[in-house]
Amino acid sequence: MPSPTLNMAHVDRPLTNMSIAYMQSATGFVFNRVFPLVYVEKESDKYYVFDIETFLRGRARRRADGTESAGGGYKLSTDSYSLGDPFAFHKDVTKRERDNADKPLDPDRNATDFVTQNILITAEEEWVGNFFKPGVWDGQKIGGDTTPFWNDYASSNPITAVADARLWIWKNTGRKPNKFTVDPTTDEVLKNHPLILDRTEGQVIDANVLAKLFEVDEYLVAGGVHRTGAEGVGTGDFIAGKHALLSYAAPNPAKEMPSCGYTFAKTGSGVEGVDKGVRIARIPMDVLGIGTQRIEGELFINAKVTGQPLGFFFADIVEQVA
């Protein structure tokens, strides 16, 4: 009688302690980190804006005895925000799918992660498309045109370039920039730039070291990725282009406090206190089969530039290498 083969002695089953999914960390997204969050009750409203000269011009004068003091006023206007429509996405999970799933699969958890990732990627794409591009900020340099490419190590000096931008923002607004946002390619170029290596002798160059070097509170890397092109044949890329943004953002929303931008978030939208900020709901969908649930995510935010002079943008600052 023949001996059993290996395939007869063992039936392949899915491992219960691992599976593979290309899911990225929420910390790689910057759409909710560059601008401060301000929570609002209404989907649209107004806010007051003091003219930029109000607190930056000295109008006081020495007063001779018995004469009136110098006096004046200031310009006050209003601007408005609108949340628009929320980001939303869903995945339906049937009872049959749930009942028949083998470990380690968890259809409800997998659907929640799938929905959350879709919303985060879309929110990052919108933020990058609106704010991390040329023509938005009052300060701007273009790589290879008005400033050398930073990966041209022989000609460029990112340290002095950022210092000049810092002084430009400071002298025009009275605020020293506190955030520096770059894409991953620019981040790698900076970490390997000879001048930066010389300045940071012997240190492992990370975000904290670069924040100190560039004199900002936060050095942010916009590390979100997405797939582009037709599904199944598309290619991956970073969402953010090869740019850098030096900016001043208010630490928290406050009265009479300038900020390069604000991210307006609906109170109770799920943003408070969490990095992901995506509210998840389970909606019965028995019309698709008894026990089916729709895992639906929603993110009710909208960002807006509120201080163009508080940003200095380095566009296409890394030369594309074939």
Is residue 57 helix, strand or coil?
A: coil
pLDDT digit string (tens) for 255-267?
Answer: 889 999 999 998 8
Share of the chain above pLDDT 70, in %: 90
In angstroms, the CA 110 to CA 106 distance is 6
Judge whether 280 lies within some domain.
yes
Judge whether 208 lies within some domain.
yes
Give the domain extent around 215: 6-43+85-315
In the 8-state DSSP scheme, what is residue 147?
B
What mean pLDDT is predicted for residues 41-62?
91
Share of the chain above pLDDT 90, in %: 73
pLDDT digit string (tens) for 131-149?
Answer: 999 999 999 999 999 999 9
Judge whether 28 lies within some domain.
yes
pLDDT digit string (tens) for 95-117?
Answer: 999 998 877 888 999 999 999 99
Q: Decide if 220 contacts 210 (C-beta within 8 A).
A: no
In the 8-state DSSP scheme, what is residue 318?
S
Q: Return phi, psi of residue 74, to 5°.
A: -145, 160
Query: Which CATH number does the domain housing residue 232 bear?
Result: 3.90.1690.10
Q: Which two tokens stand for residue 175?
A: 């605020």
Band the pLDDT of 26: cuts 50, 70, 90. Answer: confident
Cα separation values, 153 from 31, 190, 199, 246, Å: 30, 10, 14, 21
* DSSP annotation string for 249-284: --SS--TT---SEEEEEETTSS-TT-SS--EEEEEE
Judge whether 322 lies within some domain.
no
19 pLDDT higher than 50: no
The number of domains in the chain is 1
Q: What's the predicted TM-score (pTM) here? A: 0.89
Judge whether 205 lies within some domain.
yes
Helix (H) or strand (E) holding 73: none
